[in-house]
Amino acid sequence: MKKIVTNLTTWVILAIVSGALLGHFNPTTAIAMQPLGKYFIEVVKLFINPIIFLTISLGISGMNDLKKVGRVGGKAILYFEIVTTLALIIGIIVAHYIQPGTGVNTSNIESGDISKFTEGARKFSWLKFLKDNVTIQVLILSIVFGIVLSKLKKADAIINPMKFISKYIFKALHFVMLFALSDLFDGTLARLSQQGSTKWGALIDSTLDRITDAAICAGILVFAYSEGEMSLTVYLALTALITGSLIPYIRARAESLGIECSVGIAERAERLIGLLVGTGLYGLGISWALDVALGLISILSIITIVQRLIVVKRS
């Protein structure tokens, strides 16, 4: 019984069933719980690039013979192609015979314009794809870095700290994955409710996000000011507060002009995680952690503002 209760699969199934029941019997509450899954996905995205970099770099550096790396890579590509093909075949068979989605009411869903996708396909560029895709850049960097590490004689001085960091990143990811239940729950009930977020709900959600962000930075600012000896923290918190307000404003203003402007390396999730880590470490006695976190958030936020302004200018 203990194995069943502690098994993640059990809780995943329970979350799906619970979401289905709530979405069917109380769709209004189901829609209100949408942020549970939304923010879970944003947090998980934070782990993707560090895990790719650490895993690939450590994996390649741990192989003395680079030919083994090539063989492993070839087998991985072959396995991917076989499994992907099998998944496509299963999907086609299921769609043909079971026809999932039949009977779903789509009358209240606005039809979209697909012309932007066809136009994008015609203008596709591999160079632009590599430039805009951070994950691909991290993957290439990881491969090159891993090869360089495998050639260094004193690579252990770099590899050991990376292994230490990797260990705790995976622990943190494991902790975050416990909240996957909220995403499954939210996704299932939202689909069964057959409704989407209203414009009013989206406005309220965005407004509350801004209030929360401002309240966190303002709280840090007031605390630092009251301490008297944290003048740098005050300035950094003020910078984070201002830039954190400008980032969503620029996007909202650009989209009101019909310009897609969602680029940037410091989205809301990244800023909140940075603040959480900084304040948490400060509370544990690492006094410089808060200034470092606020400094990084401020720098990345300024870069994001510049990125979005460039996008609007080019449009």
184 shares a domain with 151: yes
15 is written with which tokens?
Answer: 């979350």
pTM for this structure? 0.44
Identify the CA nearest to 248 among candidates 210, 218, 217, 215: 210
* Among 113, 209, 213, 291, the one annotated catalytic: 209
Determine the pLDDT at residue 59. Answer: 78
226 is written with which tokens?
Answer: 């009251």
Residue 132 forms part of a structural domain: yes
Using DSSP's 3-state secondary structure scheme, residue 270 falls into helix
**Mean pLDDT split into 10-residue runs, the chain, 315 residues:** 64 72 71 63 71 80 68 76 87 82 71 66 72 79 83 80 77 60 50 55 71 80 75 85 86 84 78 78 78 88 89 83
Residue 115 forms part of a structural domain: no
256 shares a domain with 162: no
Contact 307, 265 (CB under 8 A): yes
Residue range of the domain that includes 211: 199-314
83 shares a domain with 25: yes
Contacts of 290 (CB under 8 A, 6+ apart): 220, 233, 278, 279, 281, 282
239 shares a domain with 183: no
Residue 296 forms part of a structural domain: yes
At which of 193, 215, 235 does a domain end? 193
Cα distance between residue 14 and residue 19, in whole Å: 8
Contact 37, 186 (CB under 8 A): yes
Q: What is the CATH number of the domain that holds 303?
A: 1.20.120.1760
222 shares a domain with 183: no
Determine the pLDDT at residue 8. Answer: 58
b/e map of 5-33 (b: 16 or more CB within 10 Å)?
A: eeeeeeeeeebbeebbebbeeebeebbeb
274 shares a domain with 187: no
At which of 159, 193, 227 does a domain end? 193
149 shares a domain with 96: yes
209 catalytically annotated? yes
Determine the pLDDT at residue 200. Answer: 66
312 is written with which tokens?
Answer: 């609007």
Residue 210 forms part of a structural domain: yes
Determine the pLDDT at residue 220. Answer: 83
Determine the pLDDT at residue 281. Answer: 76
Report the domain count for the chain: 2
Residue 113 forms part of a structural domain: no
Cα distance between residue 192 and residue 209, in whole Å: 26
Residue 243 forms part of a structural domain: yes
225 shares a domain with 76: no
At which of 170, 193, 216 does a domain end? 193
Determine the pLDDT at residue 117. Answer: 64
143 shares a domain with 16: yes
Residue 114 forms part of a structural domain: no
Q: What is the CATH number of the domain that holds 59?
A: 1.10.3860.10
Contact 144, 53 (CB under 8 A): no
Residue 269 forms part of a structural domain: yes
221 shares a domain with 144: no
68 shares a domain with 204: no
238 shares a domain with 130: no
Cα distance between residue 283 and residue 271, in whole Å: 18
